[in-house]
Structure 1
Amino acid sequence: MEIRAQKLDYLQLYDHRRERAGYVKASQARLVSLEAKDANDNLTVVRFLRDTPGAEALGISYTAAYIKAAPATEITPEAFDALGSMAERLARRSSSKQSKQNDEIIAAHLEVVAQYGVKIQGFERDGRMQLCYDGEAFRRVLAMAASNEQQARAALALTRNDCIDPAMPPAQKVALDTWRADVLDRVNPTGLPEYIKNRLHMRAAGIWSGIAFQMTRKQLPFSVAAQRALSELAAVDKEEMTNDDVNTYAEAGLRVGASRWAGENMAKGKSSLNIQTTVGKPGETCITLQDQKSTKPLMNRCTYGIVWPSSARANASGTALALAVQPMDGWRELWLFHQLNGKWVVDVLPPSLSDPELGYVEFAGWVPATNKLLVARETKTEGRFKRSFDVVNMDTLQVENSADKPGSLSIFYRWQDPAWKQQTVSLR
């Protein structure tokens, strides 16, 4: 609001947005100078408010005053870094509001920052509204001569997984993931604290695993992207991880684990049981189960998911075969071909019987001379991560025993597949 005059202890104001004039007590207002000589005073206040929770609207207002007062040649990336950080924190706080009183306060804060051109977008995710800052200030940081740490903060803010609209068409998602990977690659890690390097590696691991899945969908070379995802995850230094990054690391591992077969070589088993894949209807892959001892295929099944032939593992007796099938990014199932009452059937083991946001289940070994199968699972459900190692009855698909560590189950520890133990990311 513009101050036009002062009478006694009242200020005469004019609100340009509402096109209304009025008075307010001088003690209830704080005067902010827009003179170039006072610009640094505004920046000092911004430095104090940028890390003060709940003061985002006030901090953004002071940032706008600084940008308006300072000469264009003197404006540094610090102002845009602060503006973006406060806008992102306000959006996070708005998405996790808890009380009616907070609703009213947050709505007022959002109205204030909107006046300064700060755009906070919303979309529905898992039955609730997700609010995210559009990142304009962070884009300006990347376009300026910013420090490595400022670039890292901007890159991490612009590449958040939870700020991707679930309704985004696949073609746009491919372009967005490619852009996100490029943004992270531009960050110079020299001199960055180890925990920030960890965050860059974890974010890149999840993005590259998604790119590997999408490139497979398009029948493009995908192994380089998959190997990049695995190497980024392996680069995380768990000794330098903060408490806030534990769930981030779990999600990165889950995403990489779901697509890890894109980076693995073809299995070379000794069993006569194997599979062949052929192209079916548009978008379909058909699986043929074969036994070298027979000239006729044992069974056929088609799917719109991605079939990872390198994951096929048959048991020693040739009565069962496990195969990884990935219907979507961040979600991988286990298909179990086996004999039941003298006939070949295929059962699908999902990561969880509930409705997880992300998840994968994978073959971990056969228990000899039994109908038991070892599997590893990782899921994210309602923001909570769970990892389990199960002993499954192939006839009923019931979990007979389960533990959060392989060593806690003697049968699992004894019969786990060596190749699985070497390749899986569930033991990270």
Structure 2
Amino acid sequence: MMLSVLATMAIVTQDQSALRAAPRDAAPQQAVLWQGDALEVRGRKLDYLQVWDHRRERAGYVRASQVRSATLEAADAGELLSVLRFLRDSNGAEALGIAYAAAYLQAVPAIRIDAEPFDAIGTMADRLARRASQRAGQTTPATIAAHLEVANHYGVRIAGTERDGALQPCYDGEAFRRVLALPSTPEQRARAALGLTRHDCVDASLTPVQRLPLDQWRAQVLDQLSAEQFAQLPEQTKNRLRLRRAGVWASLAYQFARRGEPAAPAAQRALAELAGVNKTELSDDDRSDYNEAAIRVGASRWAAEPVAPTAPGLTIQTATGQPGETCVALVDARQPNTKPLAQRCTYGLVWAASVRASANGNALALAVQPLDTWRELWLFRRSGKDWAIDVLPPAANGPELGYVEFAGWVPGAERLLLARESKVEGRVKRSFEVTKLDSLQPEKSASTPDLLVLFGRWQDAAWKRQTVSLR
């Protein structure tokens, strides 16, 4: 990261300040300046400073009231740092704060440089990237674009990552990496770890071979804090680290399972991190992250469960199909040598531990996970002498984040209990449903199972013990 600045400079503090050809309001405008722009001061005339703009390679005059002059001597480093500390948490002043960070790093002796300015740069750059991703707000797109250009001039890189067909601006995290490489406080290290491991900044186009080492690195970054350092953190920061760890380890569980490697330790770690969250210390924003982490963990939770021995009656058998494909056959264990009752192949991950057959032998539920954040339910059901296979998704729109899971059979009523949870277009929805087997249409649904009588009577005991939907 190049943070070069000028020896004698003026930092623009107001957006859309005019760089004029002469020290008069009526003089032609040479350029539009934005907060954080650094100008070399060459003189003063009336209420204007005569400056040279190195970024645009243009000279001109700017009103002295629209800039703040700074001499980059070691004696001035403390004053620059004070302003930087003020701007670090000022929403909308990220470009200006990055400019002051650059000035401070130029003024302070190298031997005195620690993690604090890089922590500030990373915090402001990450916040600027988040502001750029917001579809609506008080800041206009033109202002955001200008602030991004200013940040880029100081070597702060914010690039777009494709997510769900849209461009997601993300900070490349170089300042956060420097924080982790320098002696730093537990809070600084925690902010750096969170800034470097954002889920929404993972490129969705990565192949499984590329994704696994990235998630392993993310897990290592999140575990860099020792137990002693973790204990020193505020409870809110502890929660944020636990939530991020839960999501990363849930993804690793899915990836290990796809590679045929032991996935239970990763899934158990994800469940433990989620269970460790102190829900009384969650802010509104953190509660949204908590729900998202729960969905991620819920999608991969079957990796933590062992496969039960085959019981008499309906069950499944799996076989390898095309490269990367698993074929699922529905069989009757009481008639091992007969033709499969139904068969279907998938490139998703088949969780054999999830098999649940109805008592009357007319239906079987199976969890299939095509993505690390999306788990579907396959429902095998008898229709006369034939068998149908239906795929129930977590939501009509997607895939983004979501899971749907079997919650119980209603004996003699041809009904199935389901739990769904999803996040689509930024909104989390959780529902519990009583579904008819013949039409697969919800007969009743509620936001909590306590409102459904059949859930109270017939919910599956193993589901109630294992699910994260009842958190």
Shorter-chain TM-score bucket reads over 0.9
What is aligned with 1:305?
Answer: 348
Question: How far apart in 2 are the matches of 1:357 and 1:300?
Answer: 27
What is aligned with 2:462?
Answer: 419
Question: How far apart in 2 are the matches of 1:318 and 1:101?
Answer: 60
Given candidates 280, 295, 299, the residue that maps to 1:258 is: 299
The Cα offsets for residues 207-260 of structure 1, whole Å up to 9 and x where unpaired, read as 111111111111112111111111111111112212211110001000110010
Letter of the 1:349 counterpart: L
In structure 2, the CA distance between the partners of 1:269 and 1:424, relative to structure 1 (3 Å rule), is farther
TM-score, normalised via structure 1 length: 0.96
Shift of the alpha carbon at 1:355? Answer: 2.9
Shift of the alpha carbon at 1:146? Answer: 0.5
What is aligned with 1:23?
Answer: 61
SS in 2 for 1:204: helix
Matches within 5 A, 1:140-151: 140-151=178-189
What is aligned with 2:203?
Answer: 165
SS in 1 for 2:71: coil
Question: How far apart in 1 are the matches of 2:120 and 2:310?
Answer: 56
Shift of the alpha carbon at 1:298? Answer: 2.1
Letter of the 1:29 counterpart: V
Question: How far apart in 2 are the matches of 1:9 and 1:416?
Answer: 77
The answer to whether the 8 A contact 2:408-2:418 is kept is yes
SS in 2 for 1:30: strand
The Cα offsets for residues 319-369 of structure 1, whole Å up to 9 and x where unpaired, read as 211111111111111111121122122111111123352111111000001
Given candidates 389, 392, 399, the residue that maps to 1:349 is: 392
- Relative to structure 2, which stretch is displaced further, 356-365 or 418-427? 356-365
Letter of the 1:350 counterpart: P
- Relative to structure 2, which stretch is displaced further, 25-34 or 152-161? 25-34
Mark the runs of 5 or more structure 1 residues left unpaired by the alignment: none
Question: How far apart in 2 are the matches of 1:66 and 1:79?
Answer: 8
Question: How far apart in 1 are the matches of 2:135 and 2:439?
Answer: 44
SS in 2 for 1:18: coil
The answer to whether the 8 A contact 1:356-1:380 is kept is no
SS in 2 for 1:318: coil
- Relative to structure 2, which stretch is displaced further, 123-132 or 321-330? 123-132
Mark the runs of 5 or more structure 2 residues left unpaired by the alignment: 1-38
Question: How far apart in 1 are the matches of 2:317 and 2:163?
Answer: 38
Question: How far apart in 1 are the matches of 2:198 and 2:251?
Answer: 13
What is aligned with 1:392?
Answer: 435
Shift of the alpha carbon at 1:268? Answer: 4.7
The answer to whether the 8 A contact 1:361-1:378 is kept is yes
What is aligned with 1:367?
Answer: 410
Shift of the alpha carbon at 1:23? Answer: 2.7
Question: How far apart in 1 are the matches of 2:296 and 2:112?
Answer: 43
The Cα offsets for residues 283-303 of structure 1, whole Å up to 9 and x where unpaired, read as 111222221332303222221
What is aligned with 1:74?
Answer: 112
The answer to whether the 8 A contact 2:398-2:424 is kept is yes
Shift of the alpha carbon at 1:13? Answer: 1.6
What is aligned with 1:377?
Answer: 420
SS in 1 for 2:70: coil
What is aligned with 1:108?
Answer: 146
SS in 1 for 2:261: coil
Letter of the 1:108 counterpart: A
Given candidates 136, 160, 164, the residue that maps to 1:98 is: 136
1:402 lines up with 2:445 in the alignment: yes
The answer to whether the 8 A contact 1:269-1:313 is kept is no
Shift of the alpha carbon at 1:187? Answer: 1.9
What is aligned with 2:380?
Answer: 337
Matches within 5 A, 1:261-280: 261-268=302-309, 270-280=311-321
1:191 lines up with 2:232 in the alignment: yes
Question: How far apart in 2 are the matches of 1:127 and 1:142?
Answer: 33
Letter of the 1:241 counterpart: L
Shift of the alpha carbon at 1:175? Answer: 1.5
In structure 2, the CA distance between the partners of 1:251 and 1:42, relative to structure 1 (3 Å rule), is same
Letter of the 1:91 counterpart: A
- Relative to structure 2, which stretch is displaced further, 165-174 or 176-185? 165-174
Given candidates 249, 259, 269, the residue that maps to 1:228 is: 269
The Cα offsets for residues 28-85 of structure 1, whole Å up to 9 and x where unpaired, read as 3321111111111100000111111111111110010000110111012111111111
Matches within 5 A, 1:117-156: 117-156=155-194
Kindly, what percent of the aligned residue pairs are identical? Answer: 59
Letter of the 2:159 counterpart: Q
SS in 1 for 2:68: coil
In structure 2, the CA distance between the partners of 1:390 and 1:27, relative to structure 1 (3 Å rule), is closer
- Relative to structure 2, which stretch is displaced further, 337-346 or 44-53? 337-346
Shift of the alpha carbon at 1:177? Answer: 0.7
Question: How far apart in 2 are the matches of 1:345 and 1:229?
Answer: 35
Letter of the 2:209 counterpart: A
TM-score, normalised via structure 2 length: 0.88
The answer to whether the 8 A contact 1:122-1:130 is kept is yes
The answer to whether the 8 A contact 1:269-1:314 is kept is no
Question: How far apart in 1 are the matches of 2:394 and 2:135?
Answer: 31
Shift of the alpha carbon at 1:190? Answer: 2.3
1:326 lines up with 2:369 in the alignment: yes
The answer to whether the 8 A contact 2:374-2:399 is kept is no
Letter of the 2:397 counterpart: S
What is aligned with 2:32?
Answer: none
Question: How far apart in 2 are the matches of 1:150 and 1:322?
Answer: 47
Question: How far apart in 2 are the matches of 1:157 and 1:317?
Answer: 52
Q: What is the aligned length?
A: 428
What is aligned with 1:56?
Answer: 94
Question: How far apart in 2 are the matches of 1:145 and 1:101?
Answer: 36
SS in 1 for 2:140: helix
What is aligned with 1:202?
Answer: 243
